[in-house]
Amino acid sequence: MIDQALMQPIPDRIFRFACHKDLPCFTKCCANLNLVLTPYDVIRLKNRLNLSSEAFLEKYTTSYIDEAYGVPVVKLTMNNDKTRRCPFVSPEGCAVYEDRPGACRLYPLGRAASKIFEGHPAGEYYFVVKESHCLGFNEERDWTVQEWIINQGMDEYNAMNDSFMNITAGRQAKTIKALNDQQLQMYYMACYSLDEFRRFIFETTFLDKFDITKDVRKRIKTDETELMAFACQWLKFSLFGEKTIPISSHHRA
């Protein structure tokens, strides 16, 4: 979680910032983070590291149950030493830069789930995180929020993350908190352990039970972002009873 005292509004959606190797603070921000990963972050990182989703989750992440909604959340584990640095930081910067998580791309901006500043209209969700060690705010480069999002490749991440947010959107926290252990395990697998979820689809009786067209089967087998979108549909079906996946005629009552 970001310390609320560090959050500042962005007047006219313009802020001044630049980050580069010549700053004395270079990579100081890549330590001691509560870096929550989204399902799309996990896909990008595990592929970057050439690991299965299970191996990546085991080696680099810790999971816990979110207090408000009661669903599993995954965060990147910092090094277990005094520095508590990110496992991917190097003297040259981020070693997984092209596939760095969405939160790292957005920094020094943050995105709030609801209105947090007086005078800012609902929907104005971005704020600046002003940490004292970050010297990037003294640099003379102005950005609009939109320019920053595009410059950091965040638009692609936002689009993928929105389909995931969609699973719980509009539901009462108490409905979600009522999920049992088996449902929580399903949520974790479908959201984060995508290689395991793929086996659940293709190596069990799943395809006998549901009417999944050849075209969809092909897409979810070969394209992980399609599989991730399918996983969202599956969770809506299996956890919340939405009719997002057609049941095979052999299995209808």
Which residues bind to ligand SF4, rule: CB under 6 A? 19, 23, 25-30, 33, 86, 88-89, 94, 96, 100-101, 104, 107, 133-136
Query: From the CB of residue 18, how many other CB atoms can be counted at a distance below 10 Å?
Result: 14
**Which residue, 147 or 242, has its beta carbon nearer to ligand SF4?**
147
With CA atoms as reference, report the closest residue to 28 among 74, 91, 77: 91
**What does the alpha-carbon distance between residue 174 and residue 67 come to, in Å, rounded to a whole number?**
11
Q: How many CA atoms lie within 13 A of 34 on its CB side?
A: 5
CB of 211 to ligand SF4, least distance (A): 40
- As a residue count, the chain comes to 253
Q: Smallest distance, Å, CB 222 to ligand SF4?
A: 27
| Least Å from the CB of residue 223 to ligand SF4 | 24
We find the least distance from the C-beta atom of residue 79 to ligand SF4, in angstroms, to be 10
Strand partners, 94: 89
Q: Which is nearer to ligand SF4, 102 or 194 (CB)?
A: 102
Q: How far is the CB of 67 from ligand SF4 (least distance, A)?
A: 24
Q: Provide the token pair at 91.
A: 């003297």
Separation CA 130–CA 5 (nearest Å): 9
Give the nearer residue to ligand SF4 in terms of CB position, either 51 or 94: 94
Look at residues 36, 51, 30 and name the one whose alpha carbon lies nearest to residue 191.
Answer: 36
Nearer to ligand SF4, 44 or 236 (CB): 44
DSSP label of 222: H
Residue with smaller CB distance to ligand SF4, 13 or 28? 28
Ramachandran assignment for 69, one of left (phi > 0), alpha (psi -120 to 50 degrees), beta (any other): alpha
Minimum separation from the CB atom of position 33 to ligand SF4 (A) = 6
Ramachandran sector of residue 8 (left: φ over 0; alpha: ψ -120 to 50; beta: rest): beta
Closer by beta carbon to ligand SF4, 88 or else 187: 88
Q: In whole angstroms, what is the distance from residue 216 CA to residue 230 CA?
A: 9
For residue 229, report the phi and psi dihedrals to the nearest 5 degrees.
-65, -40
- The smaller minimum CB distance to ligand SF4, of residues 28 and 111, is found at 28
The distance of closest approach from Cβ of residue 29 to ligand SF4 in the complex, given in angstroms and rounded to an integer, is: 3
d(CA 61, CA 36): 9
